[in-house]
Structure 1
Amino acid sequence: MTAPAASRAGRNLPMAIAVGLGLGVVIVACLLLLRQLFVVIIIAAVVASIWEMRSTLAKARGITLAWIPMAVGAAATIAFAWWYGHDAQVVGIALTALAVMAWRFAKGAEGYLGDVSASVFLGVYLGLFASFATLLVAPHDGHARVLAFLIMVVASDTGGYAAGALLGRHPMAPTISPKKSWEGFGGSVVAAMAGGALSVSLMPALHHPWWQGLIVGGVLALVATMGDLAESLIKRDLGVKDMGTLLPGHGGVMDRMDSLLPSAVVAWVLLTLFIPV
């Protein structure tokens, strides 16, 4: 029996492509039919990531996440950002942190700081960062903003993988992610800039100068790469390859959020700057 094709990262590449395309179809359909459904998808992905991290941190470091207040707080922050914007973000994360601190009282002093620190960090990383995707999709042209954002991030990932696989010779961060190369990073930047220029200039709902998309794409490629490297450091620190197993060919949901979460923040900032709501 023939073994499944694997990528340079050791993954089942056909399965990864199939899962990625399936998720893409669902997301695009939600954006075009009812934008609020996209917010539901964001919440589901964040809650699934919290559940994955609960298990991973417990096994790797004995850290107990306050996952219930984290999940409730993150979901509320992401949802209420639709109506209340930054006010919902500030209040949501602050109340989540307070709830985490109180929730952990029951286990006593041992490990309190580590448990609370990890819970609050992930509350910000997942809940706050993801709420910027809500801010992206909330305006009347939000479907186009999110599509442009996703096109740029996916182009960055795809361009980086292709250039790295074909041309990669010079390691970018060998102690963090040995297979990431400067050639791959160059491919990420070029592909993201092209995706940004095309999406921002050609989408009727946006229809702004191509050079603005070029800038946004280039910055997002940098931020997405930083997010990928940051999660690689977290995995190395924990001694795990993947954060979970929920997405065949990809690992866990958290493994697919590494470039999207920080990029959502920067995409909102730049698109709002260039294309005011």
Structure 2
Amino acid sequence: MAVKGRDIALRAASAAVLAPAAVAATWFGGVWFLALMLAACVVLAFEWGAMSAPKAPRPVGLAVALAVVAAVVSAYFGVMSVAFVILVFGAAAAGLYARSRGQQAVDAAYGVLYLGWPSVLLIWLRDGDGAVGLHWTALVFAVTWSADILAYLAGSTLGGPKLWPRYSPNKTWSGFVGGILAGAVAGAALTAWFDMGRLTIFWGAILGLAAALATMGGDLWESGLKRRFGVKDAGNTIPGHGGLLDRVDGLMFAVVVVAAGRLLVVLLEKGAS
């Protein structure tokens, strides 16, 4: 129990330092949010390089970073089609470069898509410095953080049967249920608090539930990846959490779900006008 107590304290201390910076950049939007995203993408790319290409971590990490950064910058300037094209060709280029360094081409190529796709969508969600973009970004963060925190606390406190012991022996069904319920509540609360257009509180809860499920899925997916690469953590960037990828693995999946929700709302609003 003492070990768990110290672990929770370390996690809380790390969150107390990092969360305000992320919240501030998200609040101000514009170049501040772009700077946050670019810094995160570079860290994530090098963590991916270290995890997937141990014999050439920095070169492969740099190749992945260049492709993802280029796509994010294109998305920031509103050229979404170019951003997705960059991801495809950047993935191919990173794969070919990794092969030339004696590493697996498919791992480097997948890294570009794995990191780049949600990064581009998150830039689209924030949509510069507009209030609507801020509301949708706050929704994805609130759902993800609520699901992640409650899943950890419920699993640590209640324990019980394991969710998927083969790939993630510490995760339990009690944590899973706590996480998705927290996500649904967060989705409903943010929809009630902010102006989300045609998104009602009920559908906000449904979207929060779906995004929380994606958060759990993203966490399990990264656990499977770490097992495949034979590593315990993606890195040691954040004390108590491991690497940055260990902290945002669920967020990357949840962004896709929330972005789909926003796209549906946009289409409904256009159809009604």
- Normalised to the residue count of structure 2, the TM-score between the two structures is 0.88
Q: Which residue of 1 aligns with 2:109?
A: 120
Aligned residue among 133, 136, 157 for 1:142: 133
Deviation string, structure 1 residues 50-104 (Cα, Å, up to 9, x no partner): 1122223344xx4666333321110010121123343023211122134325535
Deviation at 1:12, TM superposition (A): 2.7
Aligned residue among 23, 31, 43 for 2:38: 43
Deviation string, structure 1 residues 187-210 (Cα, Å, up to 9, x no partner): 011111000000012114658421
The alignment partner of 2:78 has SS state of helix
Equivalent pairs: percent with the same residue? 26
Change (3 A) 1:101 1:166: closer
Aligned residue among 251, 256, 268 for 1:265: 256
Change (3 A) 1:35 1:6: farther
Gaps of 5+ in 1: none
Aligned residue among 1, 4, 7 for 1:7: 4
Change (3 A) 1:98 1:121: closer
Q: Which residue of 1 aligns with 2:120?
A: 131
Change (3 A) 1:116 1:33: same
Gaps of 5+ in 2: none
1:275 and 1:157 map into 2 onto residues whose CA distance is 28
Aligned residue among 134, 145, 150 for 1:154: 145
Aligned residue among 91, 99, 103 for 1:97: 91
Contact map agreement 1:77 1:92 (CA 8 A) in 2: yes
Q: Which residue of 1 aligns with 2:214?
A: 223
1:138 and 1:203 map into 2 onto residues whose CA distance is 16
2:65 and 2:207 map into 1 onto residues whose CA distance is 31
- Normalised to the residue count of structure 1, the TM-score between the two structures is 0.86
Q: Which residue of 1 aligns with 2:27?
A: 32
Q: Given the alignment of the two structures, is residue 70 of structure 1 paired with residue 26 of structure 2, yes or no?
A: no
Contact map agreement 1:156 1:187 (CA 8 A) in 2: yes
- Which residue identity lines up with residue 117 of structure 2 in the other structure? L
Contact map agreement 1:137 1:143 (CA 8 A) in 2: yes
Deviation string, structure 1 residues 137-157 (Cα, Å, up to 9, x no partner): 016211111111100001101
Report the structure, 1 or 2, having the larger helix content.
2
The alignment partner of 1:198 has SS state of helix
2:53 and 2:264 map into 1 onto residues whose CA distance is 41
Change (3 A) 1:85 1:164: farther
Contact map agreement 1:144 1:206 (CA 8 A) in 2: no
Q: Which residue of 2 aligns with 1:202?
A: 193
The alignment partner of 1:241 has SS state of coil
Deviation at 1:219, TM superposition (A): 0.4
